[in-house]
Amino acid sequence: MQALSRKERERLRQRQEILEAAQRVFSTKGFHKSTVNDIALEAEFGVGTIYKHFPSKEDLYFSLIENKIDDLGLFLRESVEAQNAPVEKIRALIGAQLQYFEKNEDFFRIYISGISELEGKIKSRLHSKILERYQRYLIYVSGIFKEGIERGCFKKIDPLKMAVGLLGMLNSFISYWIQTDNSEKLTINVESIYQLIIEGVGREGRLAGSSRE
Amino acid sequence: MQALSRKERERLRQRQEILEAAQRVFSTKGFHKSTVNDIALEAEFGVGTIYKHFPSKEDLYFSLIENKIDDLGLFLRESVEAQNAPVEKIRALIGAQLQYFEKNEDFFRIYISGISELEGKIKSRLHSKILERYQRYLIYVSGIFKEGIERGCFKKIDPLKMAVGLLGMLNSFISYWIQTDNSEKLTINVESIYQLIIEGVGREGRLAGSSRE
Amino acid sequence: MQALSRKERERLRQRQEILEAAQRVFSTKGFHKSTVNDIALEAEFGVGTIYKHFPSKEDLYFSLIENKIDDLGLFLRESVEAQNAPVEKIRALIGAQLQYFEKNEDFFRIYISGISELEGKIKSRLHSKILERYQRYLIYVSGIFKEGIERGCFKKIDPLKMAVGLLGMLNSFISYWIQTDNSEKLTINVESIYQLIIEGVGREGRLAGSSRE
Amino acid sequence: MQALSRKERERLRQRQEILEAAQRVFSTKGFHKSTVNDIALEAEFGVGTIYKHFPSKEDLYFSLIENKIDDLGLFLRESVEAQNAPVEKIRALIGAQLQYFEKNEDFFRIYISGISELEGKIKSRLHSKILERYQRYLIYVSGIFKEGIERGCFKKIDPLKMAVGLLGMLNSFISYWIQTDNSEKLTINVESIYQLIIEGVGREGRLAGSSRE
DNA sequence: TATGAATGAGTTTTCATTCAT
DNA sequence: TATGAATGAAAACTCATTCAT
């Protein structure tokens, strides 16, 4: 049984190495411009070995996203659940997501193309799995907002809308950071995002703006 | 010159028809699964004619996005500039963008894959043009916030961050609406988004949450 | 309409050329060792052009066999129907089939692998079409024997069995001739086969054999 | 030496098991669609073990045919040599061959693709071995006919042609039986074939057929 | 000028064979 | 000795692009 276990572990390690190589290749060249050969070369395996683990290039791609999303999900939950107050949970969520993508910049490129309507109206079975995970994440975040509403710290707005809004903001900040590829750390934005989502941009009682003259 | 002008007009109309056909095809099957032949068939032209107007499939794709973004830009500016107060400008912006994509749902699929890092780190000359336009749009929205800050109706936060946050929210709402493809209109979200960005989710002085017992 | 007709004719000629090239290649290297590229090279067309005419290599292969069988069928019928007496029809059939394969030696290799159980128990849709044609041919030959029985010139044996027997003989002679690839013409065997099928090998009343001493 | 002998016996048994598994697989899926892995699985050995016995898949295939042909040859000889009169020898041959393939239907699929020009003009070294055996078989059958001619029971026709004709008939009947896969036994055809080859289809003196008017 | 037939480079995937354990 | 994981060569097929008509 020890022998079997070793084989199994070996197999998993190989699979992991392929996924890592695939991430490097996909994030650099994109899905379509990456060939299975590229990935095999990067992983230092034969192409056949890739196909031992994944039935097709597409499967490999979606397995990669799935894996990483689960990984991210775990990390977020941990961070969030270390907090008690809803606002702190939200702050933790923001922090964790920025932190995760700061370290996994490469993955974001893949992640975003995974959740965007990558291949048009017609969704593949594989794509659906990703959307499902995205939905689940949305519900999880809604849950935090819901709790916050019940505990009286958040406004009585549809918590799903809050979640959609917050996640959009987060993606937008990450996207912008990647595109501008600046030297500042992504995580310096935690407080800004926190403030935006919690307090909004408006100044009380001054929304009409001063008169111009 | 009149003759030339007619020819020119004819040419432009043809180009426009191709772009419209391309949008229908791309939005249904995605960029890679759409063939130039598909587009030619949809446009009722020969493939050769497509190539008279666009040097490559990729060029056609990005021209389409460019065109449509410019179109959207125009529409947004008009809506925004009809308002005077910064908050009203923001509300108009939200309304216009939702309205635009409600009518151009198909285009959003293409738009989002255009601005997301669709093809990896390596940005093509064509992709850069899209990003440039996105940057310009960001700056335009920042401008509204900046004016709002100066006029005292918005908090003193980096207006670029406000813009990044707002646009992320908008995309997220549109994306969610498309994915769930529900019967509600996208535009019913205007007030929610307005409230989220202006006031945030928090209730003053209650952020810590009520104690649980 | 003349223009269309010319186009159509051109297309058919091309198709024909591809089929001829395919025959040369298949007969030399066999189905599996022939690549579509080989055929394209032989036909002096691009591979794409091959695929314009035939959806797959397999389809090309079976189209080729089908075509040729039809061709052979026509030739046989003509020869047979020029005769009146059943025995003369049989002789004509033998003569025609040998003549045909003498001239189309290459095709026989393909033909025989087509009707033999090329790919095991599991028959493809395409393979079935060939078997159907073989059945039809069998029935046609049976018809000649049936007529002969009715007209009293043949024994009262199941005509289908006669047909199966005769066609087996023919294939066997052709096969043998191809394998030994001798300098004699295949058609010199007409009389022998005729005698074998009509009179058999036995000498009347002497079947027990003379005693040996 | 006893130990070596046991080893040797063990080795042969293994080889035999592989050949049997191969036959099952090849007859079901055909040569090309059968993978070495399929055979290894069916034989319950590792692929490596297959290659210990046969240098290549092709070798395995032809060894299988060779083996079985030898097997068939033995069986036929036994049946034939139990008879004295040439006609009885022929009847025995027919009976034995039908009986053999009735029991080894699977093998016939392989056998026929082996002797037909399966892989085109270019004959492999391995294929040649099969043809050689076929030739030998032909000569053996010729020998029976020759003897019959000498003993006066058969017509003075080239005995090789008789053999080619008879074997063709046999294959044709077997082939037809497999294709129609009917419930009747193959061996019910013995007498028909015997009659066809010995007496032919014609009725003495009536060959011209009745006049039609 | 508009066309669409022809092209062939490039991609995914399979599977016979090897060889370290 | 038996194994089966790893390999990578090879082949079917697609489709952006060209160019003769």
Question: What is the tens place of the pLDDT at every residue in B95-120?
Answer: 999 999 999 988 888 887 766 655 55
Contact C27 D121 (CB under 8 A): yes
Report the largest interatomic distance among the alpha carbons of chain C, rounded to a whole angstrom: 84
Q: Are chains A and B in contact at 3+ CB pairs closer than 8 Å?
A: yes
A212 pLDDT band, cuts 50/70/90, is: very low
Q: What confidence category does residue A208 fall into, taking pLDDT thresholds of 50, 70 and 90?
A: low
- A29–B contact, CB cutoff 8 A: yes
Distance of CA B118 to the CA centre of its chain: 16
Cβ of D34 less than 7 A from strand E: yes
Q: Identify, with chain letter, the residue nearest to nucleotide E10 (CA–C1').
A: A35
- Exposure pattern of A101-130 as b/e (b: 16+ CB <10 Å)? bbebbbbbbbbbbbbbbbbbeeeeebbebb
Q: Which chain C residues 38-57 have CB under 7 A to strand E?
A: 44-49, 51-52
Q: Which CATH class is domain D7-55?
A: mainly alpha
Q: Contact at 8 Å (CB) between B201 and A192?
A: no
pLDDT for C121: 61
Q: Which range (A99-108, B147-156, D120-129) has the least confidence? A: D120-129
How many C-beta atoms lie closer than 10 Å to residue D13's C-beta?
10
Query: 3-state SS of C1-42?
Result: CHHHHHHHHHHHHHHHHHHHHHHHHHHHHHHHHCCHHHHHHH
Percent of chain B with pLDDT over 70: 89
CATH code: domain D56-212 is 1.10.357.10
d(CA D61, CA D109): 12
Q: How confident is the prediction for chain B on average, in pLDDT?
A: 88
User: Does the structure show a pLDDT above 70 at D196?
Assistant: yes
Give residue for tokens 């049989």. Answer: C90
Q: pLDDT at residue A146 above 50?
A: yes
Where do runs of H (alpha helix) occur along C118-158?
125-150
Residue with tokens 């290659």: D51
* Closest A-chain CA to B124: A29
Chain B positions in Cβ-Cβ contact with residue A120 (cut-off 8 Å): 26-30, 33-34, 109
Q: How many of the other CB atoms lie within 10 Å of CB of D157?
A: 17
User: CB contact, 8 Å: C131 with chain D?
Assistant: yes
Position B130 scores a pLDDT of 84
Mutate to test the interface with A, among B83, B107, B117 (most CBs of A within 10 A): B117
Confidence class of residue B208 from pLDDT cuts 50, 70 and 90? low
Is B178's Cβ below 8 Å from some Cβ in A?
Answer: yes
Which residue is it, tokens 């080989």? C38
Q: Which long-range contacts (CB under 8 A, 24 or more apart) does D83-88 make?
A: D85/C207, D85/C208, D85/C209, D85/D153, D86/C209, D86/D144, D86/D145, D86/D147, D86/D148, D86/D151, D86/D153, D86/D154, D87/C202, D87/C207, D87/C208, D87/C209, D87/D148, D87/D153, D87/D198
Average pLDDT score over chain A:
88
Reported pTM:
0.86
Residues of chain A (175-194) having a beta carbon less than 7 angstroms from strand F: none
CA of D40 to C1' of F12 (A): 27
For CA atoms B205, B207, B210, B211, the dihedral sign is negative
- Residue B71: C-alpha distances to residues B10, B75, B104, B187 (Å): 20, 6, 11, 19
pLDDT value for B6: 78
D210 touches chain C (CB under 8 A): yes
Strand F positions closer than 7 A to protein CB: 1-20
- Per-domain residue ranges of chain B: 7-55, 56-212
| Closest CB to B164 among A29, A155, A176 | A176
What are B205's two structure tokens?
Answer: 């002085």
**Best CA proximity match to D165, nearest among C89, A106, C194, C82:** C194
Inter-chain touch A28–B164, beta carbons under 8 Å: no
Confidence (pLDDT) at B212: 44
- In the three-class reduction of DSSP (H, G, I as helix; E, B as strand; rest coil), residue A209 is classed as coil
Instruction: Tell me the mean pLDDT in the region C131-158.
Output: 94
Provide the pLDDT for residue B44.
96
Residue of C36 and C131 predicted with greater confidence = C36
Q: Do B201 and A148 touch (CB under 8 A)?
A: yes
List all nucleotides in chain E with at least one atom under 7 A from a protein Cβ.
Answer: 2-20
Closest C-alpha to A123, from D176, C212, B30: B30
Q: What are phi and psi of A202, to 5 degrees?
A: -80, 150
Q: Which chain D residue's Cα is nearest to C201?
A: D198
- Is C53 in contact with C62 (CB distance < 8 Å)? no
Q: In the beta sheet, which residues pair with residue D154?
A: C202
> What residue type is assigned to position D159 of the chain?
P
Say which DSSP state C202 is in: B
DSSP string for residues in D174-193: HHHHHHHT-SS-GGGGHHHH
Q: A35 in contact with B at a CB cutoff of 8 Å? A: no
pLDDT tens-digit series, residues C13-60 = 999 999 999 999 998 888 888 999 999 999 999 999 999 999 999 999
Which residue has better confidence, B208 or B45? Answer: B45
Report residue C162 as tokens: 């006669």
Cross-chain Cβ contact B29/A178 below 8 Å = no
Question: Looking at per-residue confidence, does D80 or A29 come out higher?
Answer: D80
- The pLDDT of residue C89: 97
B55 touching A (Cβ < 8 Å): no
Q: Which helix (H) or strand (E) holds A81?
A: helix A57-81
**DSSP type of residue A94:** H
* Rg for chain A, CA atoms, rounded: 21
Is chain C in touch with chain D: ≥3 Cβ pairs within 8 A?
A: yes
Question: Which nucleotide's C1' sits nearest to the alpha carbon of C49?
Answer: E6
Nearest CA in chain B to A121: B28
Residue D115 has a pLDDT of: 64
Mean pLDDT of A15-23: 95
pLDDT given at position B118: 53
Give D111: exposed, middle or buried? Use CB within 10 Å, 0-12, 13-18, 19+: buried
- Which residue is listed with tokens 């549109």? B174
CA of A196 to C1' of F5 (A): 54
Q: What is the pLDDT of residue D141?
A: 97
User: Among B103-112, C123-132, C182-191, where is mean pLDDT lowest?
Assistant: C123-132
Of the listed ranges B149-158, C16-25, D124-133, the one predicted with least confidence: D124-133
User: Chain D within 8 Å of C36 (Cβ-Cβ)?
Assistant: no
Q: What is the pLDDT of residue B116?
A: 61
Which one, of D40, D11, D45, D12, lies nearest residue D24 by Cα? D40
Q: What is the pLDDT of residue C15?
A: 96
Q: Which residue of C has its CA nearest to D159?
A: C201
Which one of A201, A206, A207, A213 makes the best mutation probe of the B interface by having the most chain B beta carbons within 10 Å?
A201
Task: Compute the radius of gyration of chain D from its Cα atoms.
Answer: 21
Chain C touching partners, 3 or more CB pairs below 8 A:
D
C118 has pLDDT over 80: no
Contacts of A160 (CB under 8 A, 6+ apart): A138, A139, A142
pLDDT for position D212: 44
Please count the other Cβ atoms lying within 10 Å of the Cβ belonging to residue C41.
Answer: 14
pLDDT at A4 over 70: no
The pLDDT value recorded for residue A72 is 92
Q: Is the C-beta of residue C134 closer than 7 Å to nucleic acid chain E?
A: no
Q: Are D107 and D20 in contact, with CB atoms under 8 Å apart?
A: no
β-strand partners of B154? A202
For residues D161-166, average pLDDT: 97
Q: What is the pLDDT of residue D213?
A: 36
Report the C-alpha gap between B82 and B97 in whole angstroms: 15
Pairwise CA distance, residues B55 & B60, whole Å: 8
- How high does pLDDT run on average in chain C? 88
* Mean pLDDT along residues B67-79: 93
Model pLDDT, residue B123:
64
Asked if residue C176 lies in contact with residue D162, where contact means CB atoms within 8 angstroms, the answer is no
Chain CA centroid to CA D19, Å: 16
**Does the pLDDT value for residue A203 go beyond 80?**
yes
DSSP SS3 for D154? strand
CA distance D169 to D196: 9
Is D47 exposed, middle or buried (CB count within 10 Å of its CB: 0-12, 13-18, 19+)?
Answer: middle
Contact D135, C180 (CB under 8 A): no
Nearest to B168 among A131, A172, A179 (CB): A172
User: What is the share, in percent, of chain D residues with pLDDT greater than 90?
Assistant: 65
- Predicted local distance difference test score (pLDDT) of residue A53: 95
